[in-house]
A = this chain, B = another copy of it.
Amino acid sequence: MNSLIKIEHGSGGKYTFELIKNVFLKELGISESNYTFEDSYVFNKNNEKIAFTTDSYVVNPLFFPGGDIGRLAVCGTVNDLAVSGAIPYVISAGFIIEEGFEIDNLRKIIRSMKKACIEANVKIVCGDTKVVEKGKADGVFINTSGIGFFEENLNFSYRNAKPKDLIIINGEIASHGIAVMNERHKLGIKGSIRSDVSPLNGLISMIKNIPGIRCIKDLTRGGLAEGIIEISLACGFGIEIDEASIPINKSVKSACELLGIDPLYVANEGKIIVIVDSKYGDRVLEKMKKHCYGRKSAIIGRILYENGVYLKTISGMRRMVISMSGEQLPRIC
């Protein structure tokens, strides 16, 4: 590993994993086999099952079609808790603000956090504010951490996925990353390109007690590709997804083609995949379609007996999906 941090270390792909493995886990003395990619840490304390998670948000620009850093910070942490099966309960908010930042923009961000909290039925209960000199940050960075509780004894570890299980997604991929990029670089791509940032705990509550659900993963940095790779690594089985069945907005797709970006790796902020016993696939799909954040849900793939993560392309070819070593779109969350 090189001796300096590179932008790629924040990609959520191969470099991030290596940094976690070779630096964080190593120095903390945590063995790799004890580390999981799960979105929340779940533990038991005095018969109470609790989920705990943290994420920092450094998205640039702070405001983009469909959302802003505030909505992102609330939804991201809510979703990390919800995919573990927990009910998000309280969140914290830590702000690092650059000197000279407009207070009116801070107000807008906080109002947006409040709105997202109401939608997700969580409360911000503690916070922290730090200010750094002009040029030592970039507007505002937000950390949210969250605590969730379990009403049922659900265990949604990625390790639960089994061969023949189906993979269901709740809608169109890649919208968030492209919306942010379009706004940041003033690409001027026309059409309905809006971030999908949204709290998915309501959608997840609707399905989480259906038998046969193995696990749920939210697809953020690294997109659908890194999401399925992580599940494959955790459960030890391969995965195949079917390109033709993956929902994608037309304008987003054109933008990806134009920019030479693979939408599989583009960040989402309102997308989950649900891994489910094939017997229950239709039932889960039907339920998901009834929710406003699940109308375009689709079965997009399945767990394999053999190793390897594959995409069956529209032309019928099968190509491997590998962890990305570069960084297509930095600072999208």
Contacts and interface: CB of A to CB of B under 8 A. Distances in A.
Nearest to A100: B4
A129 B149 CA distance: 25
B99 A7 contact: yes
Interface string A200-244: 000000000000000000000000000000000000000000000
Interface string A1-44: 11111111110000010011001100111000000000011010
A24 B103 CA distance: 10
A58 B3 contact: no
Contacts of A45: 48, 89, 149
Contact of A54 (B3, B102, B128): B128
B147 A147 contact: yes
A261 interface: no
Contact of A131 (B7, B102, B128, B136): B7
A138 B101 CA distance: 17
B330 A131 contact: yes
A151 to B, nearest CB: 10
Interface in A84-101: 89-90, 92-101
Interface stretch (A105-113, A154-162, A265-273, A307-315): A105-113
A295 interface: no
Interface in A139-157: 141, 143, 145, 147, 149
Given A5-B97, A103-B23, A114-B28, A130 B52 contact: no
Contacts of A27: 107, 110-111, 114
17 contacts: A3-B102, A3-B104, A4-B99, A5-B99, A5-B101, A5-B103, A5-B131, A23-B106, A27-B114, A41-B92, A45-B149, A52-B147, A54-B92, A56-B128, A58-B130, A130-B333, A132-B138
Top 10 A-B pairs ranked by shortest CB distance?
A10-B131, A145-B145, A54-B92, A143-B143, A27-B110, A56-B94, A136-B138, A41-B125, A41-B126, A5-B101
